[in-house]
Amino acid sequence: MGLKAIFFDMGGTIDTFRFTRQYRVEQVPLVRDCLQKAGITTPNVSDEQLADMITQGAAAYTRWNMVSNTELSAPEIWSRYFLKDLSILEETLQPIGEELALIYETRLYIREMRKEVPLVLSQIRSLGLKIGCISNTQSTSQVPLNLEQYGIKEFFDPIVLSSEYGRRKPDPSIFYYAARLANLPSSHCAYVGDKINRDILGARRAGYRLAVQIKHPYDNGEVDEGATPDAVITSLEELLPLLKEYLAEKVVEPCKVPSLDIQAVFFDAGDILYHRPNRGSHLKQFLENKKTCPQPDMDAEKRRLKELAYTGQIRRHAYYEALIRLYGITDPSEIEEGIQAIAVDDDSVEIIEGVPQTIRELKSRGFLLGIITDTAMPYSKKLNWFDANGFGDVWDTVISSRELGQRKPAATLYELALSQAGVSPCQSVFIGHKPSELDGARAMGMHTIAFNYEPGAQADLFIERFPDLLNLDLLRRQ
């Protein structure tokens, strides 16, 4: 697969950043001035104490989001972490949250663009590559502002920020999202960043073709490991020979069946790639020990809540809580217990027999691979399951109902998958099990294969075992 786009990290890559305690103490009055706009005064806190409070809070927040991969809003970050000792409510910080975040990232650090950046970006563009940015940042305006100040913003499209997307590197979902905005399979993308545990790991997990680490002297004490970069550089000038080498590669496409010319294979996820053999068992056990009073319209309400959750209108925790309340359970501790029971059920999955080997073989045959999934959870959780079984990094596109706000058989999900893969419907195959999702794919003009299929499913082909995919003439490469 040819290289068509390169994404850059911001801090540590496009620019360098650093701070000293003394520098931060000198700058922290800017934070005070901002707090005063919301009527917050801190007369009993010295500049030294406030600077240390912010630094320690930032470290605590980093430890939390390295586990959660979640980017909170700026008011949440400052309330729960940066200014935790002052007990300031998130609501109070709401009007000034973005300004606080911008002050933190632009004024409490010393930032300088790497001097070689403008020329390197110009040369990359002359190679015909798209250029984008994927950055972890609590501010929504810092990266665009700094790129504008450096005079290089016009090079970058798209610019993807964790503060807007809600997930942070190394979560592969933010890398997949960036590739989708560039309208390219992730295997056509490269990434350059300074952190192995965020940049290289995330790009690797999202199937990026090339992942390059650039050295940056700033050390925040993190253990920086988890993946192996394709190259390690100290200046972005060293990137150009690497890119030219990859662009010069003659990509040998496997021979295709001329009459079919299938280029991409898309899968539903649940009950196709994995299943839950003990579906609902923990919830059932939980309910057996509780006094319940189910709502009379419970089935209809469950369907309504599922629709909200699967289209991203309510988050998973709120969805689980609403489900537990349908049983008439109101005690907070019991509700939390029920939520945990549902969560355990949802996370108790088994990969269907033969899936890892079959997926890897399809990849080796040269097919673009994608997932089109209806889900209430961040799809990176599913990728974690696949990673653990050796096929998490093969996907060129992942389309999620939760992210797009629509569920199959809505045409948008299939259209985005096809567009990102750069194939026509007749050059693609969809493997599913529900009549509605198979009907949706067929309505688009895609070939369809049914597996683990429900009654009433219609498809071009039916298989009984997942590895049977490899024996279909449709998916053979000569």
At residue 472 the predicted structure's pLDDT band, cuts being 50, 70 and 90, is: very high
Q: What is the pLDDT of residue 425?
A: 97
Q: What is the pLDDT of residue 476?
A: 85
* Per-residue pLDDT tens digits for 144-202: 999 999 999 999 999 999 999 999 999 999 999 999 999 999 999 999 999 999 999 99
* Per-residue pLDDT tens digits for 393-450: 999 999 999 999 999 999 999 999 999 999 999 999 999 999 999 999 999 999 999 9
To the nearest 10 degrees (0 to 180), the angle between helices 298-310 and 316-325 is 180
At residue 255 the predicted structure's pLDDT band, cuts being 50, 70 and 90, is: very low
> How far is 121 from 172, CA to CA, in rounded Å?
25
Given a cut of 90, is residue 285 above it in pLDDT? yes
Q: In this structure, are strands 15-18 and 110-113 parallel, antiparallel, or unpaired?
A: antiparallel
Given a cut of 90, is residue 219 above it in pLDDT? no
435 burial via Cβ count (<10 Å: 0-12, 13-18, 19+):
middle
Given a cut of 90, is residue 253 above it in pLDDT? no
Token readout for 175 is 């890398």
> How far is 95 from 110, CA to CA, in rounded Å?
26
> How far is 384 from 173, CA to CA, in rounded Å?
11
* CB neighbour list of residue 363: distance below 8 Å, 6 or more residues apart: 369, 394
Q: What is the pLDDT of residue 478?
A: 57
Q: Establish how many alpha carbons lie within 13 A of residue 354's alpha carbon, considering only the half-sphere containing its beta carbon.
A: 12
Q: What is the CA radius of gyration of the chain?
A: 25
> How far is 396 from 423, CA to CA, in rounded Å?
12
Given a cut of 50, is residue 352 above it in pLDDT? yes
At residue 301 the predicted structure's pLDDT band, cuts being 50, 70 and 90, is: very high
Q: What is the pLDDT of residue 470?
A: 97
At residue 289 the predicted structure's pLDDT band, cuts being 50, 70 and 90, is: confident
Flag the least confident range among 144-148, 188-192, 215-219, 381-385. Answer: 215-219
Over residues 259-277, the mean pLDDT reads 91
CATH code reported for the domain at 264-275+350-475: 3.40.50.1000
At residue 143 the predicted structure's pLDDT band, cuts being 50, 70 and 90, is: very high
For residues 468 and 449, the answer to whether their CB atoms sit within 8 Å is no
Superfamily of domain 5-14+112-248: HAD superfamily/HAD-like (3.40.50.1000)
What is this structure's pTM? 0.92
Q: What is the pLDDT of residue 1?
A: 54
Residue 159 forms beta bridges with which residues? 133
Q: What is the pLDDT of residue 259?
A: 41
Q: Where are the beta strands (DSSP E) in 311-349?
A: none
Work out the percent of the chain whose per-residue pLDDT is above 90.
91
Token readout for 419 is 């567009």
Give the chain's mean pLDDT.
94
For residues 372 and 396, the answer to whether their CB atoms sit within 8 Å is no
Over residues 241-245, the mean pLDDT reads 93
Q: What is the pLDDT of residue 217?
A: 87
For residues 38 and 93, the answer to whether their CB atoms sit within 8 Å is yes
Q: What sign does the CA torsion over 244, 249, 253, 254 have?
A: negative
Q: What is the pLDDT of residue 249?
A: 73
Question: 146-165 b/e with 16+ CB inside 10 Å = b?
Answer: bbeebebbebbebbbbbbeb
For residues 79 and 90, the answer to whether their CB atoms sit within 8 Å is yes
Work out the percent of the chain whose per-residue pLDDT is above 70.
97
> How far is 289 from 337, CA to CA, in rounded Å?
11
> How far is 341 from 287, CA to CA, in rounded Å?
10
Residue 191 forms beta bridges with which residues? 7, 211
Token readout for 90 is 């998130």
Task: Give 406-462 as a DSSP string.
Answer: --TT-HHHHHHHHHHHT--GGGEEEEESSHHHHHHHHHHT-EEEEESPPTT---SEE
Q: What is the pLDDT of residue 345?
A: 95
Over residues 305-322, the mean pLDDT reads 95
* Per-residue pLDDT tens digits for 25-68: 999 999 999 999 999 999 899 999 999 999 999 999 999 999 99
Given a cut of 70, is residue 116 above it in pLDDT? yes
